[in-house]
């Protein structure tokens, strides 16, 4: 199971509530009852479109800032009406990608044939899209979204069983795509279930009711039918008939984010620590005991990614830790600095130290160009420099074929030896 990164977001309208002005009417001329509406009312009894837009913008900004807008994402909404409006808001925030692929954002809200096909595509690690899925309940039993990296909760979840199942959508580790943890973005306080003694971190599988089941909460009378998958982004209307709508649609309400808090939980849903750095230090020291023990392991392991993956399996998320300590440090310096209080060097500083030592002189001109390009890749964050596949990307593919470049070193074994020496120089004392 993967550990969790939980982002709790508090909107002013959710915290303070919303009260209409005297005699205020909704979009369709319906009078709004004078009372204070809270987060349990929003999107079930009353719709404030600006709130939907703010949530969609926050989700989209998170994906953009992460550097990977193709992370599989599930947004859990109050009902199918809300899921449809949320989808449109996400389409608006991601118009560039939607214009290239209309299936970038989709609503999947039932168990019809079309919806089943889209769910199968969403959970398939080999299928790129759909990327962002809005739903009220994601189809039926046992949907295992192994590559899902972001789960968004914009609905109240009273049932612990339902909460466990929703969390279970993201807890599966997927090594092939380097997914060792996932993010839970919570707009409605649902993640407070983690602190409940009943939560033991073991996701369960339950039967998810369909509209035919009597226990299904009633949807709005004129919401789209359960199971309808909206494929075309423009011109989606929900609903337009004020006489049949059970919801009040209110325009012109300003909504802002009051606060945002990030927590890290282990695979059992237990709060790791208020400081990810402190947790990482304790865990690293327990694993390596001493700096010498770590240095020996690091230098004797040709593929550094092996060590990084092992740590990720133990809940040490070096890429997340880098956000707190410094994004310019590579995993080696993060570990030495956080666990053993050693002053870190940036990737650029380590690369410059190698250049000063001029260790490439024994190679021919073309081989030196390859090693220099590898140094540049290291500065950009590449760890596995000895992977021959790296020679297939820019700028190596402009220098010659993979076979031609390896021959500049003699053979594959000598190429790996040259890279191994380069790595030793990078991490020299």
Query: Comparing 226 with 185, which gets the higher pLDDT?
Result: 185
User: Does 3.40.50.300 match the CATH number of domain 4-265?
Assistant: yes
**Phi, psi (deg, nearest 5) at residue 81:** -60, -50
- Take residue 353 and report the two structure tokens written for it: 């130290």
Q: How confident is the model at residue 213 (pLDDT cuts 50, 70, 90)?
A: very low
What's the rounded Cα separation, in Å, for the pair 332 and 336?
A: 6
- pLDDT higher than threshold 50 for residue 140: no
What's the rounded Cα separation, in Å, for the pair 60 and 55?
A: 9
- pLDDT higher than threshold 70 for residue 236: no
- pLDDT higher than threshold 90 for residue 429: no
Please report the pLDDT score of residue 113 as a whole number.
59
Please report the pLDDT score of residue 241 as a whole number.
43
Q: Which of the residue ranges 119-123, 148-152, 269-273, 351-355 would you say has the lowest mean pLDDT? A: 269-273
β-sheet bridge partners, residue 248: 46
What's the rounded Cα separation, in Å, for the pair 134 and 6?
A: 19
Q: What is the DSSP letter of 185?
A: E
Given a contact cutoff of 8 angstroms between Cβ atoms, the answer to whether 311 and 320 are in contact is no
- DSSP character string of 69-90: TT-EEEEE-SSHHHHHHHHHHH
**Helix residue ranges per DSSP H, 134-272:** 160-168
What's the rounded Cα separation, in Å, for the pair 178 and 319?
A: 11
Please report the pLDDT score of residue 195 as a whole number.
73
Given a contact cutoff of 8 angstroms between Cβ atoms, the answer to whether 131 and 71 are in contact is yes
CA distances from 121 to 94, 195, 366, 395 (A): 20, 34, 44, 34
Helix (H, G, I), strand (E, B) or coil at 198: coil
First vs last C-alpha separation in the chain? 37
Please report the pLDDT score of residue 183 as a whole number.
86
Q: How confident is the model at residue 358 (pLDDT cuts 50, 70, 90)?
A: confident
Angle at 214 between CA 224 and CA 119, to 5 degrees: 50
Helices (runs of H) and strands (runs of E) counted in the chain: 15, 10
Please report the pLDDT score of residue 214 as a whole number.
33
- The residue ranges of every structural domain in the chain are 4-265, 275-340, 347-426
Residues 257-286 have a mean pLDDT of: 76
Q: How confident is the model at residue 46 (pLDDT cuts 50, 70, 90)?
A: very high
Q: Which of the residue ranges 344-348, 350-354, 381-385 would you say has the lowest mean pLDDT? A: 381-385
Q: Which of 26-35, 122-131, 256-265 has the highest mean pLDDT?
A: 26-35
pTM of the predicted model as reported, rounded to 2 decimal places = 0.62
Q: What is the DSSP letter of 344?
A: P
Residues 132-156 have a mean pLDDT of: 76
Buried b or exposed e, range 119-130, using 16+ CB within 10 angstroms: bebbbeeeeebb
CA distances from 52 to 81, 90, 250, 415 (A): 12, 9, 12, 54
Q: Which of the residue ranges 222-226, 290-294, 334-338 would you say has the lowest mean pLDDT? A: 222-226
Tell me the per-residue pLDDT of 192-205, one tens digit each, with 9 for 90 and over: 877 777 665 443 33
Buried b or exposed e, range 34-54, using 16+ CB within 10 angstroms: eeebebebbbbebbbbbbbbb
Given a contact cutoff of 8 angstroms between Cβ atoms, the answer to whether 280 and 335 are in contact is no
- pLDDT higher than threshold 70 for residue 360: yes
What's the rounded Cα separation, in Å, for the pair 108 and 112?
A: 10
- Take residue 349 and report the two structure tokens written for it: 């500083």
CA distances from 325 to 62, 111, 260 (A): 19, 45, 20
Q: Which of 193-202, 342-351, 381-390 has the highest mean pLDDT?
A: 342-351
State the chain's maximal CA–CA distance in angstroms: 85
What's the rounded Cα separation, in Å, for the pair 1 and 334?
A: 24
- Take residue 118 and report the two structure tokens written for it: 């889209």
Closest CA to 316 of 352, 350, 273: 273
Tell me the chain's radius of gyration from C-alpha atoms: 26
Q: What is the DSSP letter of 47?
A: E
What's the rounded Cα separation, in Å, for the pair 106 and 84?
A: 9
Strands 271-273 and 257-265, bridge-based pairing: antiparallel
Please report the pLDDT score of residue 20 as a whole number.
93
Q: Tell me the average pLDDT of the chain.
A: 80
Tell me the per-residue pLDDT of 51-104, one tens digit each, with 9 for 90 and over: 999 999 999 999 998 888 998 999 999 988 999 999 999 999 999 999 999 899
What's the rounded Cα separation, in Å, for the pair 224 and 246?
A: 14
């Amino acid at each position: 199971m993967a550990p969790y990164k939980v982002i709790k977001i508090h909107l002013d309208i959710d915290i303070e509530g919303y009260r209409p002005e005297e005699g205020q009417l909704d979009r369709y001329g319906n009078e709004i009852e004078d009372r204070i509406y809270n987060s349990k009312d929003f999107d079930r009894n009353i719709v404030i479109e600006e709130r939907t837009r703010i949530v969609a913008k926050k989700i989209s900004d998170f994906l953009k800032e992460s550097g990977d807008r193709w992370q599989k994402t599930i947004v859990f909404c109050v009902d199918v009406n809300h899921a449809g409006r949320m989808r449109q808001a996400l389409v608006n925030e991601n118009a560039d990608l939607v214009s290239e692929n209309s299936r970038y954002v989709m609503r999947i809200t039932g168990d019809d044939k079309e919806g089943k096909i889209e769910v199968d595509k969403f959970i398939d690690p080999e299928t790129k899209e759909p990327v962002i899925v809005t739903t009220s309940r994601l189809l039926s039993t046992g949907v295992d979204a192994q590559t899902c990296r972001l789960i968004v909760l914009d609905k109240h979840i009273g049932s612990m069983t339902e909460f466990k199942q929703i969390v279970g959508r993201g807890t599966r580790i997927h090594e092939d795509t380097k997914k060792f943890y996932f993010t839970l973005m919570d707009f409605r306080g649902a993640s407070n279930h983690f602190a409940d003694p009943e939560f033991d971190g073991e996701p369960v599988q339950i039967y998810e009711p369909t509209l035919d089941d009597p226990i299904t909460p009633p949807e709005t009378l004129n919401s789209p039918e359960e199971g309808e998958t909206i494929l075309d982004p423009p011109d989606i209307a929900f609903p337009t008939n004020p006489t049949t709508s059970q919801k009040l649609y209110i325009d012109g309400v300003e909504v802002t984010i009051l606060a945002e808090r990030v927590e890290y939980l282990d695979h059992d849903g237990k709060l790791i620590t208020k400081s990810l750095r402190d947790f990482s230090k304790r865990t690293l020291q327990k694993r390596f005991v001493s700096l010498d023990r770590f240095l020996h392991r690091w230098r004797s392991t040709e593929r550094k990614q092996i060590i990084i993956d092992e740590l990720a399996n133990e809940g040490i998320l070096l890429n997340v830790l880098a956000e707190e300590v410094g994004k310019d440090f590579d995993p080696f310096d993060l570990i030495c600095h956080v666990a053993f209080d050693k002053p870190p060097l940036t990737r650029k500083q380590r690369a410059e130290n190698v250049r000063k030592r001029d260790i490439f002189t024994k190679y021919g001109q073309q081989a030196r160009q390859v090693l220099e390009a590898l140094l540049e890749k290291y500065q950009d964050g590449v760890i596995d420099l000895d992977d021959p596949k790296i020679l297939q990307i820019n700028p190596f593919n402009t220098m010659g074929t993979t076979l031609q470049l390896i021959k500049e070193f003699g053979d594959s074994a000598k190429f790996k030896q040259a890279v191994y020496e380069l790595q030793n120089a990078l991490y020299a004392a």
